[in-house]
């Protein structure tokens, strides 16, 4: 009977080692297990629990570490704390019958008899037979895996990484509320946006949530930490459509924030995808188009050729005489590098149509004539003709 019981325990141990090898952190040989199987038969579940956790924790903390020390964000549970304190006072030689504290600790009153040690070759043969039996019979449904050491510890609360991951999961399921977003710090929001930027399906629900509120702080973080990096990076057609929808919604709900923290950085930075900007700028009111043009003129010292396309939606803002004067000064600085650019020529022709000579100083009109005369494309002829007609009408 003892031999059968010992063999069955051995088979179970092999299964546990194969199923959860990382939890069997203690070093115990097959021979020692067979010798002690009967002695600790009544308490094997509790011993397995302690053996699995105690050496793993001691290995991390060090043998000299007090048992009430904290490890990262975790601490010992009260039950395990008391049990390990008692274990420290018990000799580590488990085959020593002179120390009945093992029986008292686990409330076992069953007398334990020592099993004689078996020769090494017998132990190896029994091990091989158990492994073969395990592979043929499959896992025993009555044997549960030993708990991991972390399952024996009580958490002080979720770490920042797990908290952000859980919020990202909720956002992916369209369940993230504005209250949850407001509870996050700026760093946590930035980390959340970094995770959400990997999934197109998560971006639009987040924008809709922010736009449904009046929280300019969140809108600013969305512009700076989520949409701006996405616009700067390459994207496929599907992501491009998603970003355009997000940008249009955001500029409609938060035009001032969008101009300052998204559109202006895009206009003054590296060349973006023009179609994305056109759709968003068109939705702005004249007030915010004027603000965007003013910010653009403050930051840009020389026009790039790609600027000629994104400025087109801002033409209504050039009706303001001050904005027109500043823009003509920028054209004069940029005319020489773009002297043969057809795109710049079309821009000059459009500006000529917007000029109202009676609202501009003569110096500005003279500056425009000089720019048109020096340009080397066919559009310069049309620009000069339009300007002359405007002057004759005054």
* pLDDT of the residue at 326: 96
Sequence-ordered list of residues with C-beta below 8 angstroms from that of 324, at least 6 positions apart, any chain: 318, 354, 355, 359, 360, 364
pLDDT in tens, 325-349: 999 999 999 999 999 999 999 999 9
150-159 contacts: CB < 8 A, separation 24 or more? Answer: 150/74, 152/49, 152/53, 152/77, 152/80, 153/71, 153/74, 153/75, 153/76, 153/77, 153/80, 154/74, 154/75, 154/76, 154/77, 155/73, 155/74, 156/73, 156/74, 156/75, 157/73, 159/73
Span 19-26, average pLDDT: 41
* pLDDT of the residue at 392: 86
pLDDT in tens, 213-239: 888 999 999 999 899 988 888 777 788
Domain boundaries, the chain: 2-153, 158-284, 300-394
Distances (CA, A) of 190 to 165, 193, 274: 12, 5, 26
| Number of neighbouring beta carbons within 10 Å of residue 163 | 16
Structure-token pair, residue 241: 């459509």
* pLDDT of the residue at 213: 86
């Amino acid at each position: 009977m003892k031999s059968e019981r010992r063999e069955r325990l051995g088979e179970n141990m092999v299964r546990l080692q194969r199923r959860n090898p990382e939890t069997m952190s203690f070093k115990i040989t097959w021979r020692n297990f067979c010798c002690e199987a009967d002695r600790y038969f009544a308490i094997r579940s509790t011993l397995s629990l302690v053996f699995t956790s105690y050496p793993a924790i001691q290995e991390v903390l060090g043998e000299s570490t007090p048992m009430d020390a904290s490890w990262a964000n975790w601490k010992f549970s009260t039950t395990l704390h008391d049990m390990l304190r008692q274990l420290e006072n018990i000799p580590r030689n488990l085959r020593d019958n002179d120390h009945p504290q093992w029986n008292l600790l686990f409330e076992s009153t069953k007398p334990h008899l020592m099993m004689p040690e078996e020769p090494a070759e017998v132990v190896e043969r029994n091990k091989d037979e158990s492994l073969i039996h395990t592979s043929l019979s499959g896992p025993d449904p009555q044997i549960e895996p030993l708990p991991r050491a972390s399952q024996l510890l009580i958490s002080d609360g979720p770490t920042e990484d797990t908290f952000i991951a859980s919020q990202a999961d909720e956002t992916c399921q369209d369940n993230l509320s504005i209250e949850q977003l407001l509870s996050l710090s700026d760093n946590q929001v930035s980390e959340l946006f970094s995770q959400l930027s990997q999934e197109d399906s998560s971006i639009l629900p987040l924008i809709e949530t922010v736009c449904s509120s009046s929280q300019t702080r969140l809108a600013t973080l969305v512009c700076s930490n989520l949409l701006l990096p996405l616009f700067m990076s390459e994207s496929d057609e599907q992501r491009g459509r998603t970003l355009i929808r997000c940008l249009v919604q955001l500029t409609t709900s938060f035009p001032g924030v969008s101009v300052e923290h998204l559109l202006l950085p895009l206009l003054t930075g590296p060349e973006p995808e023009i179609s994305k900007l056109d759709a968003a700028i068109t939705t702005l009111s004249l007030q915010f188009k004027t603000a965007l043009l003013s910010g653009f003129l403050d930051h840009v010292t020389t026009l790039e050729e790609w600027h000629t396309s994104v400025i087109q939606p801002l033409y209504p803002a050039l009706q303001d005489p001050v904005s027109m004067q500043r823009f003509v000064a920028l054209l004069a600085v940029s005319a020489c590098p773009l002297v043969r650019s057809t795109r710049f020529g079309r821009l000059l022709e459009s500006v000529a149509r917007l000029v109202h000579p009676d609202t501009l100083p003569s110096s500005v009109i003279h500056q425009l004539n000089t720019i048109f005369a020096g340009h080397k494309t066919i559009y310069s002829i049309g620009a000069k003709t339009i300007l002359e007609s405007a002057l004759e009408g005054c």
